[in-house]
Amino acid sequence: MHRIMIVDDDGFVTLQLNKLLTSIGYDVVGVADSGKEAVELARDVRPDLILMDIVLQGEPDGIGAAKEIMTELDIPVIFITGYTETEFFDRAKQAKPFGYLLKPFRIIQLKASIDIALEKRDLETRLRMSEQKYRRISEELQKEITERNSVYGALRESEKTLRQMSTHLIRAQEKERKRVALELHDELGQALSLLKLKIGSVIKALPQDQTELKNECKGMSSYIVQMVENVRRLSRDLSPRIIEDLGLSSALRWLAESSARHMDIEPLFEMDDIDSLLSPEAQITLYRIFQEAITNMVKYAKATRIWISARKGEIKNILTFIVKDNGVGFDLEHFVGHISTEKGLGLATMNERANMLGGSFEISSQKGIGTTITISVPIEGSSNS
């Protein structure tokens, strides 16, 4: 049963209303005859609805009391007015009452006004609740988005760290290779050459009839020549001085030709004049990529043709390198996502090296058709990174 409070300074009106309300099933839980008393009573009994006379003596009047009650206690108020009190209407409207009840009262109008007010209140409450619910949901979403962003941020950070580490590793490896190559060439190479000279003088010093010993020494000498050649090759593989001496284009030619010889094929070249566009470090990095790509061809491709190209691209300031074979190809799917762990590190390191140059690495392969590797790098000095 809904609990209703009545505020009116006319005892006859309150009595009449009280009767009417009770007769149509409402519970009258309080009656006040001034604005002040109305506010206090409403605080005490917390009715579901208040019927409030607009015109009341004292402060606050009906309108003031209604405003106070609706904002402080959130209880809906219906104003009671007579036709004569039109001058109050403007102020009354501002108080945003839940309805108006005209004197003299008619039972139908009374019930309708009250039901509408209560319904409106109910709707408002439900609206407020769903608003709160959606606000909460949107706050949670917002929170989730923020969290997710920070996770992505952390991921990006660690990806960056990893990339820096791998760049660092690749550089350190390059430095170490260079050191070992020099050591091999200078120390071991020299020592072997010296040894060969010494054996030469032993041969000379040996008496004519010591043919067996002489032949033994000659055998040793040519073995040393072979060793020197091996040491040179090792040293060259480790640190391709040819790049420093002749530049990347020639180094690539030499690399492809000497490797293709193992496969008994002639590589096809398309080379622009690119050496001056790349720093020595970039040239070494590119050389390493080619070295890996060509080694893979020799190891796996069973190709009858290979193409090597280095072009100043159509797109300005980009160099494009392509290594292509018509060999057996392989299933790239197999490598997506787990490049670097499943099989060798070759593909992953090529990718990493291209990244070091601010460039991109692409590989496409089709079984029975062949494999193509494309590396694009920005020309130094024009780089927009």
Ligand X SMILES: Nc1ncnc2c1ncn2[C@@H]1O[C@H](COP(=O)(O)OP(=O)(O)O)[C@@H](O)[C@H]1O
- Applying CB under 6 A, the residues found at the interface with ligand X are 296-297, 300-301, 325, 327-330, 343-344, 346-347, 371
Residues 6+ apart with CB under 8 A from 70: 76, 77, 95, 96
Least separation, in Å, of the C-beta of 180 and ligand X? Answer: 21
What distance in Å separates the CA atoms of residue 49 and residue 355, rounded to the nearest whole number? 73
Asked if 300 is part of the footprint of Mg ion (rule: CB under 5 A), the reply reads no
In terms of Cβ atoms closer than 10 Å to its own Cβ (0-12, 13-18, 19+), residue 358 is: middle
x/- map, 334-353, Mg ion, by CB under 5 A: ----------x-x-------
What is the distance, to the nearest Å, from the Cα of residue 172 to the centroid of all Cα atoms in its chain? 29
**Measured from the CB of residue 301, what is the shortest distance to ligand X in angstroms?**
4
Shortest distance (Å) from residue 367 CB to ligand X: 9
**Which span sits near Mg ion by CB under 5 A: 100-108, 225-233, 292-300, 364-372?**
292-300
Give min distance, CB of 382 to ligand X, in A.
31
Residue with Cβ nearer ligand X (18 or 374): 374
Show the DSSP H helices in the chain as ranges: 11-23, 35-45, 62-72, 89-94, 107-183, 190-205, 211-238, 241-246, 248-263, 280-296, 346-356
CB of 372 to ligand X, least distance (A): 9
* Residue 256 binding partner per list ligand X, Mg ion, none, with a CB distance cut-off of 5 to 8 Å that depends on partner kind: none
Residue 327 binds: one of ligand X, Mg ion, none (C-beta under 5 to 8 A by kind)? ligand X
Q: How many residues does the chain have?
A: 385
Q: Of 155 and 369, which CB lies nearer to ligand X in the complex structure? A: 369
245 or 333: whose CB is closer to ligand X?
333
Closest-by-Cβ residue to ligand X is 344
- Other C-beta atoms closer than 10 Å to the C-beta of 276 total 6
88 binds, among ligand X, Mg ion, none (CB under 5 to 8 A by kind): none
* Binding partner of 301, given Mg ion, ligand X, none, CB within 5-8 angstroms per partner class: ligand X
Minimum distance from residue 191 beta carbon to ligand X (Å) = 33
Query: Smaller CB distance to ligand X: residue 105 or 300?
Result: 300
Residue 170 in tokens: 């690749």
Closer of 20 and 298 to ligand X (Cβ): 298
In DSSP notation, 193-261 reads HHHHHHHHHHHHHS-TT-HHHHHHHHHHHHHHHHHHHHHHHHHHHHS-HHHHHH-HHHHHHHHHHHHHH
99 binds, among Mg ion, ligand X, none (CB under 5 to 8 A by kind): none
CB of 226 to Mg ion, least distance (A): 27
306 DSSP assignment: E
**Least distance to ligand X, CB of residue 271, Å:** 20
Residue nearest to Mg ion (CB): 346
Residues 6+ apart with CB under 8 A from 369: 326, 329
Q: Does 296 bind Mg ion (CB under 5 A)?
A: yes
C-alpha torsion angle, residues 284, 286, 290, 293 (rounded to 10): 120
Residue 375 structure tokens: 């590396």
Q: How is the beta sheet containing 99-102 ordered, strand by strand? A: 27-32, 3-7, 49-53, 77-81, 99-102
Residue closer to Mg ion by CB (options 4, 350) is 350
- Residue 319 or 347: which CB sits closer to Mg ion? 347
Residue whose tokens read 């609740």 = 129
Q: Which is nearer to Mg ion, 200 or 344 (CB)?
A: 344
In the complex, the smallest distance separating the C-beta of residue 348 from ligand X, rounded to whole angstroms, is 6
Binding site for Mg ion (CB under 5 A): 296, 344, 346
